[in-house]
Amino acid sequence: MPNTHQFALERPFQLQTLPTDGKQFHPDRDVAETEFKALRKEFVQLQRQLYAEDKQKLLIVLQAMDAGGKDGTIRNILKGVNPQGVRVHSFKVPSKEELAHDFLWRIHKVVPARGMIGVFNRSHYEDVLVVRVHNIVPEAVWRPRYEQINQFEKLLHDTGTRILKFYLHISKDEQKERFQARLDEPDKNWKFSREDLEKRKFWPDYMAAYEEMLHECSTAWAPWYVIPANQKWYRNLAIMRTIVNTLREMNPQFPEADGDLDQIVIE
């Protein structure tokens, strides 16, 4: 049974002791990529059934440091999936209108509907990460959010949404290499942001914030997975395994045909 990297609730972890390197979990990149493609085919099929069944919902949350691989994960995981059945939402700095509401308002509006898969590129967790690290609101405001998030996710779960949360764990060295590539490669220049360099200075504070988030918001109904993400091929495989396993458990079925179709004659 391959390691799923599910964050264990009971054991006190330090994030810095959790692996960023996927190579130790899989010996061979080619084999991993072959397995990944086979699983993706199965994912495409299961998604069709989920959509046709029109009962259950799946929400996939992606969080990571800048250059952690959220965009690449979405590109790789969703390739070939029927776009009608999937919605990707990228959460940016909140607008004035969003800030005038509670922090879950903009999130709740776009959670997946029946039959749908929702993918969050960043999420409500930014409100206990960037917001905490940069003191955008005082602790008296962000600390109660852990519990508010747990209750919100419980509501989604109780009303038919399976939730998978992936933290893509890269090392600080890996982030440096990826930022450097954004400087060096013309077609990656657009991704380079001076702000990201500012945030990099707060790396230990971000790790502390992620660590507490994992401890406070890993629940039975909405588990966190800490994915070793330095190697993209391993990251893709580990995430895809968890998604496909979850969809197998959800076991979506094509609806029953409408009566006896054998009797129908089309004029």
The residues of the shown chain that bind ligand AMP, judged by CB under 6 A, are 91-94, 122, 126-127, 130-131
Spatial separation of the C-alpha atoms in residues 108 and 120, rounded to whole Å: 12
Distance CA 65, CA 172 (A): 9
Cα–Cα distance measured from residue 170 to residue 22, given in angstroms and rounded to the nearest whole number? 10
Nearer to ligand AMP, 11 or 194 (CB): 194
Whichever of 131 and 163 has its CB closer to ligand AMP, that residue is: 131
Q: How far is the CB of 96 from ligand AMP (least distance, A)?
A: 13
CB of 131 vs ligand AMP, minimal distance in Å: 5
Name the residue number minimizing CB distance to ligand AMP: 126
Nearer of residues 11 and 92 to ligand AMP, judged by Cβ? 92
First to last CA, the chain: 54
Rounded Cα distance, 224 and 170, in Å = 16
H helix runs in the chain, sequence order: 29-53, 70-77, 96-99, 105-108, 130-133, 139-142, 145-158, 172-184, 194-200, 203-217, 232-250
CB of 143 to ligand AMP, least distance (A): 16
**Distance of closest approach, residue 91 Cβ to ligand AMP, in angstroms:** 5
Q: How far is CA 223 from CA 55, 105, 182, 214, in A?
A: 22, 22, 32, 9
In angstroms, the CA 234 to CA 229 distance is 7
Q: Is the CB of 193 or the CB of 253 nearer to ligand AMP?
A: 193
CB of 20 to ligand AMP, least distance (A): 20
Residue with smaller CB distance to ligand AMP, 52 or 136: 136
